[in-house]
Amino acid sequence: MIYSMTGYGKAVAQFQERKICIEIRSLNGKAMDLSTRIAPQFKAHEMEIRSLVANRLERGKVDFTLWVEQNEKADTPAINQLVMQGYVEQMKLISSETGIPLPENMFEILLRMPEVIARKEIYEVSDEEWTETLVAVNSAIDNLIEFRRQEGASLQNKFQSKLQNISSLLQSVEPYEKERVEKIRNRIIDTLEKQIGVDYDKNRFEQELIYYIEKLDINEEKQRLSNHLNYFEETMNTGNGQGKKLGFIAQEMGREINTLGSKSNNAEMQNIVVRMKDELEQIKEQVLNVL
């Protein structure tokens, strides 16, 4: 069955007081177009992540995001008490020497002093944490692939419906095709006898008519179009990664339908061809989403 390039997957890894969250989105694209937003702690593993995502997802416009959430306690900035005590002692000394009173909002001022609020350092990711994270990355990819599978199944049902519609329309051409030969013959005879008023060799006329009808014969186009319809359905059932191939088959189907239209020389047949083109355009639009 076919897979869609549209997908979404998310997973979370829990390690100590941290949650490592992974989110992946994908849309259709001609090749692998991967953009990443990765927490600074995991930047050292970016190439490994990119390689894993590209190999497993193959094709599409993919957005990968990895961020870290700390629990409330771990997220609380630390106050450097030693630095603050140093500021207090200096302020008291200056106050005693200069006679300047200590400010009433002394604590508020101290919190604004440099280095009182300790900076949150970017921690180094351990092997154990990376192992847990890698499991989550693969899990997010698995979820996205499952999403793609479901979307692909929906696309396949739509394609089969459109293929059946085109096949039915192709069969409906046959009655008009038979009528067309007799109409062409009568029209030519009417033109020769009534409008031009010339005598003609009936044997030669039949020979020329056969030659003319052969130029308008659409049996080959019908057969090739029917083969393309079957090949499209067979290709859908061979497995994933068939999007480009299905696109090429749809193009060939379009060529045969266009030739049918140019050879039809009949209003009813041309109307049928227009409806076939409409069905095919819907296939072409959706086949761009196939992996």
The whole-number mean pLDDT for each consecutive block of 10 residues of the chain, a chain of 291 residues, reads 92 87 92 91 91 92 90 63 84 85 82 71 78 94 94 93 94 80 71 63 67 74 92 86 89 92 82 93 92 87
Q: Where are the domains of the chain?
A: 7-74+126-149, 78-112, 152-287
- 3-class SS shares of the chain: helix, strand, coil, % to 5: 65, 15, 20
Q: What pLDDT sits at residue 269?
A: 86
138 CB-near residues (< 8 Å, 6+ apart): 52, 56
Q: What pLDDT sits at residue 119?
A: 58
Q: What pLDDT sits at residue 49?
A: 94
Q: Which of 140, 137, 144 is nearest to 49 (CA)?
A: 137
Q: What pLDDT sits at residue 200?
A: 62
Q: What pLDDT sits at residue 57?
A: 92
User: CATH: 3.40.50.150, 3.30.70.100, 3.40.50.880, 3.30.230.10. Which one for 7-74+126-149?
Assistant: 3.30.230.10
Contact 145, 17 (CB under 8 A): no
Q: At residue 149, what are phi and psi to the nearest 5 degrees?
A: -65, -45
Q: What pLDDT sits at residue 177?
A: 74
Q: Is the pTM of this model over 0.75?
A: no
